[in-house]
Homo-oligomer: A and B are copies of this chain.
Amino acid sequence: MTVYSSSANVSERASAAPSLAISTVIFALRPSESSGRPTLWLPLVRRIREPYKDLWALPGGPLTHVDSLQDAASRNLRETTGLTPSYLEQLYAFGGLHRSPTQRVVSIVYWALVQPTEAALADESENVKWFRADKVGDLAFDHNAIVEYALRRLRNKLAYGSVAYHFLGEYFTLAQVREVYEAVLDTRLDPANFRRQLKSTPEIEETGEYLQGGKHRPPRLYRFTGRPGLDPDNRSTP
């Protein structure tokens, strides 16, 4: 906590640096209650103090002096939700003057992907709850805008980059990859054409194994080889 000397006058105080916070938008796929198909969800935490007391908000906290930005995001993620992300990337720094009614706050926001297995055993409690990404309701601060932007970024990254695999485990079927695309982009894709595209990308490796236990013809399992990394300080699996 910053401590001002008693001689600090008003103007010195007013020009003090804005406080810095870290928040994270965490995405995971979970089966929809209705259709059972995977859909996009994110965890939110309930605010237990003013401002915006009792409203839902993105997990976050102040930046501690011992952590780099990414470490801070990673730590905060773990401490508030118990999750370990398979992907973590900086989203944007939000620094509008009136984001918080009480003080000037600059939030550096990260976005993360977690695998369904992780997401399934995530802490859910009175104050931590998962919401469908398209139905989060009214959030605290400017967090609705942040979630919206994170969704845009996720969709964009999915269409170009190689981020889809971080929703899945090490081995996956091509149909599972297609389901990720369908859930995130909210479209239906032709299975045959989609599979042709994936098979032409060199980073997807055929394994000799097949997914057993399904109701129909057992699909072949694949593996993703290749790193995402575009960020300047990306360590890809934080």
Tell me the A residues contacting B by CB distance below 8 Å: 1-8, 12, 14-20, 62-69, 90, 92-97, 104, 106, 108, 145-146, 148-149, 152, 160, 230-233
Per the bound structure, the CA–CA distance linking A19 and B106 in Å amounts to 11
For residue A93, which residues in chain B have a CB less than 8 angstroms away from its CB? 69, 90, 93, 108
**Bound state CA distance, A13 and B146, in angstroms?**
32
Residues of B contacting A160 in the complex (Cβ-Cβ under 8 angstroms) = 160
How far, in Å, is A17 (CB) from chain B's closest CB? 5
Which residue from B7, B17, B90, B146 sits with its C-beta under 8 Å from A17?
B17
Known: A63-B106, A93-B93. 14 other contacts (CB 8 A): A1-B15, A1-B16, A2-B17, A5-B5, A14-B65, A17-B65, A18-B63, A20-B20, A63-B95, A90-B92, A90-B93, A93-B108, A106-B108, A148-B232
Question: 7 closest A-B pairs (Cβ-Cβ)?
Answer: A69-B95, A5-B5, A93-B93, A149-B232, A3-B8, A93-B108, A3-B5
Q: Is the interface of A mostly helix, strand, loop or mixed?
A: loop
The residue from B2, B8, B17, B97 contacting A68, defined by CB atoms under 8 A apart: B97
User: Are A63 and B7 in contact, with the CB atoms below 8 A?
Assistant: no
Of the candidates B5, B20, B92, B145, which one forms a contact with A18 in the assembled complex, judged by CB atoms under 8 Å apart?
B20
